[in-house]
Structure 1
């Protein structure tokens, strides 16, 4: 099985704060599978570390009020190009991320308030029919 995974979950230091979300349980489950790592924010040219970003009305804004939507959309486009033509059986993405959030994202006010919704990459992948799983729900995927 080929699994597309948020790079931060694999231990890549690509989060906005320069750190990662390494997930040992996920790494154990991925041992028998082919892994394709992805970080659309880095692909979009955003540095590490970088200001925190949230989506407001579908537009990416950083914590300083700067519109960074173009970089986010570029990153999503490049991520989609990167996997074009590949058979991706499952996608495991980082929770609540403005690019990768599968079920919830922050509301765009930088107040730590969550709303139902998807990050930009998650939405683009869902629209294209990929099977998405929030990393917090990996226990619900028996074949993983």
Structure 2
């Protein structure tokens, strides 16, 4: 049985920065996966000690908080930072969360991860642009990038049906 790493907020846990969960519209698939014991849930930020709620954070460049096309892979490489809207640099914690999440996924045998888009940690198809003005850009967060680098396929919460189809197709070929 294929195990799936999933953002805890997507299965109803109120762990997002604003203290909420995030509905994703695929409750029937998630319920089935849960009964099949496929799901391994984590909130990378909570796992390293961030509180709920917590200040919003976004990825920025290294020079005077420059904007630009920085994303999670740049954070992991030390070329960008993650900063809260208060100005506090939380890069080190996000990098630690990313690495610990990869370890968990590998220990549990997860080859797929479903993560919450927009997050500087979990975003897989888009993240916020670093201005704290609600603008998004294509890109991934630090945890999504680390999982991808480790060979774990990352899916946005909007792609749960597509992942389910891949899993069903794989089970027919086994």
The residue aligned with 1:95 is: 117
The residue aligned with 1:46 is: 50
Q: Which range moved further: 30-39 or 107-116?
A: 30-39
| SS of match in other structure, 2:83 | strand
Supply the distance in 2 between the matched residues of 1:125 and 1:6 (Cα, whole angstroms). 13
- With structure 2 as the length reference, what TM-score do the two structures score? 0.76
The residue aligned with 2:98 is: 76
Matched-pair contact (CA < 8 Å) for 1:44–1:76: no
Query: What stretches of structure 1 move > 6 A for 4+ residues in a row?
Result: none
Pairing 1:21–2:22 present: yes
Supply the distance in 2 between the matched residues of 1:29 and 1:92 (Cα, whole angstroms). 15
Q: Which range moved further: 133-142 or 103-112?
A: 133-142
Matched-pair contact (CA < 8 Å) for 1:11–1:23: no
The runs of 5 or more residues in structure 1 that have no matched partner are: none
Larger Rg: 2
| SS of match in other structure, 2:41 | strand
Q: How far is 1:92 from its partner?
A: 0.5
| SS of match in other structure, 2:102 | helix
Match of 1:132 among 151, 154, 174: 154
- CA RMSD, Structure 1 to Structure 2 (Å): 1.7
Supply the distance in 2 between the matched residues of 1:73 and 1:82 (Cα, whole angstroms). 14
- With structure 1 as the length reference, what TM-score do the two structures score? 0.91
Q: How far is 1:33 from its partner?
A: 4.5
| SS of match in other structure, 2:160 | helix
Q: Whose helix proportion is higher, 1 or 2? A: 2
Q: How far is 1:43 from its partner?
A: 1.3
Pairing 1:104–2:126 present: yes
